[in-house]
Structure 1
């Protein structure tokens, strides 16, 4: 008997039961930093000056935080003298609207409810994904590959990757969309049948940061494709990827609204 076959029989099932129950595999992993604006000192620019992707900015009416540009480097946490930026385990940052990654006062909208109903009716319990690397560093790809390991076992949720856009329901995009990848990405999108959706994975795909200031970088998917779910992170972990996919299928709730993470 092959060694790995015997090891598998002896150790039993390795797959987690998450999200129904059990561990998500992200215990102790740092997520997006939490902003507590009431702690900010007037005219302090420490975190804004330290942020390498301009996710934090000092504006005329105060500070602004755009998690769509955050690469989870934690430099803002280290540089903030008032501890207004604090570490957290907030990794489930998938949202349906790009503006929900920008910290603002919470508001209610009916657009998300209508979209969720449409997706739920069309896809039900099965989803096929076509992945396009639009200039990624392969960090996101390493996390995507982990989805099919024995622990996360994506297939148990009825979600599968397909090599052909003709059979795909969802276009999963990583990378800032560099110039050489723009046309292949759009061609893949055009080859997909309706109804079709887009998931922007990683801060690069959400906003282009931090590559959007370089000569070869892109600006992400905003204004290029109709994105259904935005998932920042550098890279987002496998649990965050699963949460984003289940959010798309109306099987998990959105945890972030107007830049604020709900416990």
Structure 2
């Protein structure tokens, strides 16, 4: 018997039962989106907005506007904030069907579940075509981890396919460079109906750090209709899995009005 086979048999099953309750998601200690506590804001303070590299935090009507769809999770705001209004957190499950849910709001009740096309036929099987539209490969590294023994995405009935003709969901990473605009459109148009689009990573959601420069746009906004948004730089494998399961109505959407539910 080969040594690697013996090692596998003696080591046992490596795949996590997550997302079952109590199982490890593999993200212990991993920082997520900064948590905004407006009650702790000091009047006239602009420290967090001044250091934000993507203008995810802006001054607006005497207060702060926080758009997690633009956040690259750099934590600069938490380091600069003198009052704790922006604090580190482990809030990484930021998948949302509605772009507005990524913007912080005082009233989460004004952000009900978005209307969506029924997907009962796809709840147990989903085929994904991934297109890198100018990514730095950070998101690709996390996507590759989905097929390792720990996450084992296939156990959930979710598969990547090399052809858009066999895909249900187009998963896009990167800010959509000028050179990738037409190939991206071609991939989308080659998909059979019904077809959906998922923006993975802050670049695909809003452009990220390079967004709007001479070589690229500001993500998928105005390029393709987006059915699922997942910011992060990059979003971790568990965040991607949770968003995919949420898309299939097999997991709840945890973020509304820029705030994570327990």
TM range (shorter): over 0.9
Q: What's 2:103 paired with?
A: 102
Counterparts in 2 of 1:111 and 1:224: CA distance versus 1, 3 Å? farther
Q: What's 1:7 paired with?
A: 7
Q: CA deviation at 1:212?
A: 1.2
Q: Which segment is superposed worse, 205-214 or 189-198?
A: 205-214
Q: What do the CA deviations read for 1:145-191 (whole angstroms, capped 9, x no partner)?
A: 00000000000000000001011000000000000000000000000
Q: CA deviation at 1:107?
A: 3.4
User: How high is the TM-score relative to the length of structure 2?
Assistant: 0.96
SS of the equivalent of 2:73 reads: coil
Q: What's 1:30 paired with?
A: 31
SS of the equivalent of 1:218 reads: coil
Q: CA deviation at 1:133?
A: 0.2
Q: What do the CA deviations read for 1:69-128 (whole angstroms, capped 9, x no partner)?
A: 10101000000001100110000000001111011122346662x41xx34324131100
Q: What's 1:223 paired with?
A: 222
SS of the equivalent of 1:83 reads: coil
The answer as to whether partners of 1:162 and 1:168 remain within 8 angstroms in 2 is: yes
Q: What's 1:49 paired with?
A: 50
1:244 and 1:213 mapped to 2: Cα distance? 26
Q: What's 1:16 paired with?
A: 16
SS of the equivalent of 1:148 reads: coil
Question: RMSD across aligned C-alpha pairs, in angstroms?
Answer: 1.2
1:80 and 1:30 mapped to 2: Cα distance? 17
Q: What's 2:89 paired with?
A: 88
1:44 and 1:109 mapped to 2: Cα distance? 28
User: How high is the TM-score relative to the length of structure 1?
Assistant: 0.96
2:120 and 2:185 mapped to 1: Cα distance? 26
1:201 and 1:124 mapped to 2: Cα distance? 20
Corresponding residue pairs, total: 260
SS of the equivalent of 1:212 reads: coil
The answer as to whether partners of 2:67 and 2:104 remain within 8 angstroms in 1 is: yes
The answer as to whether partners of 1:122 and 1:195 remain within 8 angstroms in 2 is: no
Stretches (4+) displaced over 6 A? none
1:110 and 1:208 mapped to 2: Cα distance? 26
Unaligned runs of 5+ residues in structure 2 are none
Counterparts in 2 of 1:13 and 1:109: CA distance versus 1, 3 Å? same
Q: What's 1:161 paired with?
A: 160
Normalized per residue, which structure has more helix?
1
The answer as to whether partners of 2:133 and 2:184 remain within 8 angstroms in 1 is: yes
Q: CA deviation at 1:3?
A: 2.7
Q: CA deviation at 1:6?
A: 1.9
Q: CA deviation at 1:213?
A: 4.0
